[in-house]
Amino acid sequence: MGKLQKALGMLRNDHGNDTAKRPGIDHNVRHKLESRGAQSPAGGPRAGVRKNYAIAPGVENEKPAGFSINIDRDDLVNEGLLPNASNLEVVAHQFRRIKRPVLNIAFGVGVPEVRAANVIMMASALSKSGKTFCALNLAMSIARERDLGAVLVDADVLKPNISRVLGLENRVGLIDYLLKPDVDIEDILVGTDLQDIVIVPAGRHHDEATELLASIRMQAFISQLSERFPGRAIIVDTPPLLITNEAQVLAEHMGQIVLVIEAGVSTQDSVIQVLDSLNRSKPINAILNKARDTAFGQYGSGGYGYYSAPKRGYGHE
């Protein structure tokens, strides 16, 4: 067994054993769930474990974003953020498989409640692993759920590809919110016609981005976003973990982490270094991206999923 497989096994053991005592359970959220009637099969309170997503509020009663855009899917294909027509079905199928354990954690289906679990960090060790491709396609797959939706946050503030491709690079966004107390969350939300996904642009460039992302206001932003969108998964696209300080700071604010590993390129040492740097009390999943086969595998039952995803030729951002 290689070092990488051993690291994955460690994650499985971290999250697969005694999950009822897993650190990070928000007892206030648990109380809210119990008061809303989450029941065990025997009819009693189930200590914050949901049986299905329906207990989470849907998106139909949300206040719409004040600013909206129409998105040209061809532009996303040309930029490598969506698969082309010939690969569309296979990618959609793969992300259906990928999203299920992420959603189970995000909305407490069969697992203990985790603080801000619907806030999901898309991470990678290095650049060009396909992290942004996976963030967008995971958000789109989740948004196809009947009762759920998605928010996509461009927190890759040094290389905000989502904001650039969507023409939002000059719009008020995350960094502006963190800089200015008079900027409200409502001001940085952008509605779209792409599966009704809500976008949060990166905002302006700032030399003290690391400090801003580590601020109390950033913690408040994550909490408020999670509470404002209880029926949505909030996908946060972040800088590579081994290249920038910003990603390490952001990881502490997330409810769960999805690590994108580039097949045949990401080294075992880089992946292990990333895993060692992450808080093991958080649920961590992984996507093996740009793999040449379509075999699926999974390690563990609740903490770590290991998947092959899109083939080479797309998904490079």
Asked whether residue 39 is assigned to any structural domain, the reply reads no
Asked whether residue 297 is assigned to any structural domain, the reply reads yes
What pLDDT is recorded for position 189?
95
What pLDDT is recorded for position 177?
96
Asked whether residue 7 is assigned to any structural domain, the reply reads no
Asked whether residue 150 is assigned to any structural domain, the reply reads yes
Q: Which of 248, 188, 23 is nearest to 117 (CA)?
A: 23
What pLDDT is recorded for position 305?
33
> Could you count the other beta carbons within 10 Å of the beta carbon of residue 66?
12
Number of domains in the chain: 1
What pLDDT is recorded for position 15?
52
Residues of the chain with pLDDT under 70: 1-64, 291-317
Asked whether residue 17 is assigned to any structural domain, the reply reads no
What pLDDT is recorded for position 265?
75
pTM of the model: 0.77
Asked whether residue 300 is assigned to any structural domain, the reply reads yes
Asked whether residue 130 is assigned to any structural domain, the reply reads yes
Enclosing domain of residue 245: 66-308
Contact between 254 and 119 (Cβ < 8 Å): yes
Put the strands of the sheet holding 67-69 in their side by side order: 67-69, 190-192, 198-200, 149-154, 232-237, 119-124, 256-262, 284-289, 306-308
Q: Which of 102, 147, 137, 146 is nearest to 120 (CA)?
A: 102
pLDDT (tens digit per residue) in 175-226 = 999 999 999 999 999 999 999 999 999 999 998 988 998 899 999 999 899 8
Q: Which domain CATH number covers 121?
A: 3.40.50.300
Asked whether residue 191 is assigned to any structural domain, the reply reads yes
What pLDDT is recorded for position 43?
31
What pLDDT is recorded for position 48?
46
